[in-house]
Amino acid sequence: MRTVYLNGSFIPENEAKISIFDRGFLMSDGVYEVTSVIERKLIDFEGHFHRLERSLFELDMKNPLTKEVLLSIHKSLINKNGVNNGLIYLQITRGSAGDRDFVFPDPETTPQTVVLFSQNKENLLDSPSAISGIKIISIEDQRWGRRDIKTTQLLYPSIGKMMAKKVNADDAWMVQDGYVTEGTSNNAYIIKNGKIITRAKSNDILHGITRAAVLRFAEEAQMEIEERNFSISEARDAEEAFITSASSFVTPVVSIDGQNIANGSPGPMTQRLREIYLDESIKTAI
């Protein structure tokens, strides 16, 4: 059985209990992070920590834990649960004020809820989707307007994945005013005339930690990058397409709405970017 972390204690997962009045449960009033583990080491912990601080700040919440404490909890979970390859999930909510109320409780008297758990994923690096690519569909983006904050409001992304599953696809790209925002749990890219094209950062998308790293490594490798909007029809005619996230790294997209991208197999630039990303981030993993 897994050992999880809840509010200062490491306990078996079946003993970890939170209040029914927790605002994470009642209001999705919480933020989260997912950090990948490769060969027992954390990929880009620093980046995830900074985004966590930003998400908390944007929602007027304090960070209850220092970077050092948080890192040591991540490390303990890796050790206690023997995670070679997998993920560490972290969630911080505004806690429970002992009743349901839209108004935020007084942070001085309402402690936040902090939960971390690990997920073992032995085939994280060589998953079938990394090798053969994923099929995606396009759907309308019906999420709220602050997608740059990593909140636990994941109902629409979850519905999007179900819409994809229903038609034997793997995921969905969301579209707003004719342009792709991002995937349900990843950032979206196409390659055209040898250039990497991805939507610029704004409140419309999550500022992916993997996105930042991939764009940095691509620039260092002298690849051209254009941060701009693109449509589904442009994506369908692209040379390549891919997604990035902490759990999928760089994963090829091979078809959109049932139409193949190029010849329907993972593209060479995408494969190279995945290799560069993994090599470089494993070097600095902690």
Nearest to 115 by CA among 1, 8, 6, 2: 6
Cβ-Cβ contacts under 8 Å for 6 (sequence gap 6 or more): 16, 17, 18, 113, 114, 115
Determine which residue in the list 161, 199, 211, 274 makes contact with ligand PDD, applying CB under 6 A.
Answer: 211
Classify residue 201 by its DSSP letter: P
Determine which residue in the list 209, 232, 235, 276 makes contact with ligand PDD, applying CB under 6 A.
Answer: 209
Determine which residue in the list 112, 210, 255, 270 makes contact with ligand PDD, applying CB under 6 A.
Answer: 210
What amino acid positions are annotated as catalytic residues? 150
96 vs 184 by CB, closer to ligand PDD: 184
9 vs 158 by CB, closer to ligand PDD: 158
Determine which residue in the list 34, 71, 163, 262 makes contact with ligand PDD, applying CB under 6 A.
Answer: 34
96 vs 119 by CB, closer to ligand PDD: 119
Determine which residue in the list 63, 110, 247, 265 makes contact with ligand PDD, applying CB under 6 A.
Answer: 247
Question: Using the rule CB under 6 A, is 118 a contact of ligand PDD?
Answer: no
CB 211 within 8 A of CB 49: no
Burial class (CB in 10 A: 0-12, 13-18, 19+), 235: buried
Here's the x/- map for ligand PDD, 180-199, by CB under 6 A: it reads as: --x--xxx------------
SS3 70: helix
Nearest to 230 by CA among 242, 220, 222: 242
29 vs 182 by CB, closer to ligand PDD: 182
Determine which residue in the list 246, 250, 253, 269 makes contact with ligand PDD, applying CB under 6 A.
Answer: 246
Q: Which two tokens stand for residue 118?
A: 């690990």
CB 55 within 8 A of CB 149: yes
d(CA 269, CA 265): 12
Determine which residue in the list 208, 252, 266, 267 makes contact with ligand PDD, applying CB under 6 A.
Answer: 208
Chain-centroid distance of CA 33 in Å reads: 7
Q: Site residues for ligand PDD, window 125-154 (CB under 6 A)? A: none
19 vs 54 by CB, closer to ligand PDD: 54
Give the count of residues interacting with ligand PDD (CB under 6 A). 14
The sign of the CA dihedral 58, 27, 166, 129 is: positive
End-to-end CA distance of the chain: 25
**Least separation in angstroms between CB 182 and ligand PDD:** 5
**Least separation in angstroms between CB 58 and ligand PDD:** 15
Summarize as ranges the residues that interact with ligand PDD (CB under 6 A): 34, 182, 185-187, 206, 208-211, 244-247
